[in-house]
A and B are shown apart, each in its own frame.
Chain A
Amino acid sequence: RHSQTIAEIMGRFFSDAFNQLLVFSMKDRLPPTKELIQAVLRLFKKPSPQGEIKRHHKMFPFNSYASVTISWVQIRENNTNRTFVIDSRRVSIHETGWITFDVTQAVNYWQQQGEMAKPLVLEVSIHRENISPLFSNAHKLVYFSSQNPADGKLYAPQLELQTLDMKEYGAQGNCNPDIPVTEATRCCRRETYVNLQGLKWAENWILDPPGFKTYDCVGSCQQPKKEHLNFKWPFLSGRQCIATDTASLPLIVAHKEGDKTLTKVVILHNMKVTKCSCTTEGMPVMKKLKP
């Protein structure tokens, strides 16, 4: 509002969203030996009262949907909260039963914090499908079961974690140099040496290093059963043994400037493989938690 160049735009509060916080204890749920594949939040939508549905239908005959948004709540050290929208879907006031949300990104964010003792906090927000005063109040007729004994324990919110045991499905670290790599070899990193001095095109151009140690990823990965996943992500392929960590390669090269021959440092990013993992291609790209 203090900017001289930008006109001030006043806002009005339209949202009268109904928010609920869900807290899941995650202690020992995801040990380092387990890899998260998918996390699903299940909420049980209670039937909306028939009388209210009829009244709503008379007033808004064409609009019976509300929007339900799931956010991950990060509780920071200074006791302030930050929310990240994770998944959202339309919910009809007529439907009853379990409604699922893909909260894999939320669990991934929680893991990135590195504090396994902290619970996973999700916020359920039920709001108008469209922000406009003309739209219906369907969001006021959507209720989810809670842990309240009156709702019955069977219908309490559930978090389902699909994991893979890394002992079976992960990479094995370094390859055994004494055993030749075959199709049956479990994904591993194989040490290799790139001899830059032996390359004709690099002669008298790359001055240092003469070569370097790196790895390549070889072997195969055990495949999980895709039908167990609740959300069918498109383009999902099998797990492949690929490089998941790389390092840069600095070089000293000779270059010509007019008649002079000079030297220069060049850094080639992601050139050296340092870690191989079994990774599923086509998985949603997990975002990095920003400070």
Chain B
Amino acid sequence: KIEEKIQESLLRQLHLTAAPVLAKTEVDNLVIPDHVRTKYISLMKHTSEAPFSREK
């Protein structure tokens, strides 16, 4: 159920009708910019329990 809820919520926020299909090669070479990473970490700190994370 929670997986469905995440998908629905993501699609709604990104104004998409279906999950995008991205090739592995496109994502493998992707570098997450510092400002995106900083925003993500700061949001994680605000949530009561930080998710298990690892370097990607």
Contact = CB atoms under 8 A, between A and B. Distances in A.
A31 interface: no
B47 A272 contact: yes
A263 B36 contact: yes
B22 A248 contact: no
A198 to B, nearest CB: 9
Contact of B40 (A205, A247, A252, A255): A252
Q: Which of B20, B21, B24, B51 has the most CB of A within 10 A?
A: B51
B9 to A, nearest CB: 5
A256 B36 CA distance: 16
B17 interface: no
Interface residues of B, number: 35
Interface in B18-49: 19-24, 26-27, 30, 32-33, 36-37, 39-40, 43-44, 46-49
Contact of A248 (B36, B47, B54): B47
Interface residues of A, number: 38
Contacts of B6: 194, 196, 202, 249, 268, 271
A60 interface: no
A173 interface: no
A211 B56 CA distance: 12
The 10 closest A-B pairs by CB, nearest first: A212-B51, A250-B43, A204-B22, A201-B19, A247-B47, A209-B51, A204-B27, A209-B53, A247-B48, A268-B9
